[in-house]
Amino acid sequence: MDTLKGAQIKRKSVLGIGNALIDVLINITDDTVLQKFGLPKGSMTLVDAILSEEIKKETKNSFRSVQTGGSAANTIHGIARLGGRCGYIGKISNDEMGNFYLEDFKKNQINTHFFYSETGTGHATGLISPDSERTFGTYLGAALELTPEEMTHEIFRDYGILHIEGYLVQNHLLIEAAMKIAKENDLLVSIDMASFNIVEANLDFLHRIIREYVDIVFANEEEATSLTGKNPQEALLEIADMCTIAVVKLGSQGSLIKSGKRIIHIDAIPAKSIDTTGAGDIYASGFLYALTENLDLEVAGKIGSLLAGNVVEVIGAKIPDETWEKLLPQIELLKRS
């Protein structure tokens, strides 16, 4: 594997931190509802509890599914399914959604570092357009109350990589506290950019923390352009100057990886996309898992691409059990390539 500018992954485990949310995924027949509630297509927009309920009422006759979510949580779930060691930091409530969240993590043998709030567990309403693009109206609830003071060295010491979702950027102090403690405990730091509109609203902060703390950056085309003002190929170069490994995900065109002088293009696998929810999250699962296994960056990208190509064929951010049974042997072959 390419060296990480002298950095080493000291422990084969990944710790995620993010907004612990329940995903309520709803298929919409057209984009009228997005316009009605002022939700930019393909974005994540924060909403209050009242607006969240109005969106659900407006779409009450549409097909929906419910599962645990949150970008970093989806990534950690994927790592667990790959057989990797992992944990997750988040804040939930002792309510029906919170209990559902906790049990799902226990079932998947993920170490939980949950904090609790009297505020209800957060939930993200994902509206899936006919072209498979997803738009989120997110009520953060308890997730918003995670604090820098709750970050302790004891939580971080057993892990090798800290993976942070960009959606957490509404709390600058929390993100910086987590990154500082991670570095003090010799963890590599990975961040997956949030929705393009969130990147645009936090440009100066993101540029600073990436340069100061981050080793690995994941961004899709729109996020990479929002972060740099450049097209994806040029954005890759600029992002790679800020960190050790830059990954720009190009959807059906695959992905680009740059580390040092090496640039790798990873092809997307053929897929019939019906919902892009979680595609970037599960790509990061494969990529980070491969890094903990000391695999080459090209292999890491191929595993990420394989997982992403399978999750877009189902509703939601979770690959079904029967699909995992087919994927795991393919991943073992990639690991040996």
Relative to beta strand 134-141, strand 121-128 is: antiparallel
Let me know: does 297 contact 257? Beta carbons within 8 Å: yes
- pLDDT category at 316 given cuts 50, 70, 90 is confident
Share of the chain above pLDDT 90, in %: 82
Q: Which class for 80: exposed (0-12), middle (13-18), buried (19 or more C-beta within 10 A)? A: buried
SS3 38: coil
CA distances from 16 to 49, 103, 166, 306 (A): 26, 17, 12, 21
pLDDT digit string, tens, across residues 28-54: 999 999 999 999 998 889 899 899 999
For the chain, the structural domain boundaries read 13-19+68-120+148-336
pLDDT at 8: 66
pLDDT at 66: 87
Sign (positive or negative) of CA dihedral 63, 307, 226, 274 = negative
pLDDT at 17: 98
pLDDT digit string, tens, across residues 75-119: 999 999 999 999 999 999 999 999 999 999 999 999 999 999 999
pLDDT at 3: 41
pLDDT digit string, tens, across residues 108-154: 999 999 999 999 999 999 999 999 888 999 999 999 999 999 999 99
> What average pLDDT does the chain have?
93
Q: Which amino acid would we find at residue 302?
A: K
Answer whether residue 6 shows pLDDT above 50. no
In angstroms, rounded to a whole number, what is the distance separating the alpha carbons of residues 285 and 307?
8
Average pLDDT over residues 207-235: 96
Residue 247: how many other CB atoms lie within 10 Å:
30
pLDDT digit string, tens, across residues 164-174: 999 898 899 99
Share of the chain above pLDDT 70, in %: 98
pTM: 0.90
Let me know: does 321 contact 307? Beta carbons within 8 Å: no
Superfamily designation of domain 13-19+68-120+148-336 = Ribokinase (3.40.1190.20)
Residue 233: how many other CB atoms lie within 10 Å:
14
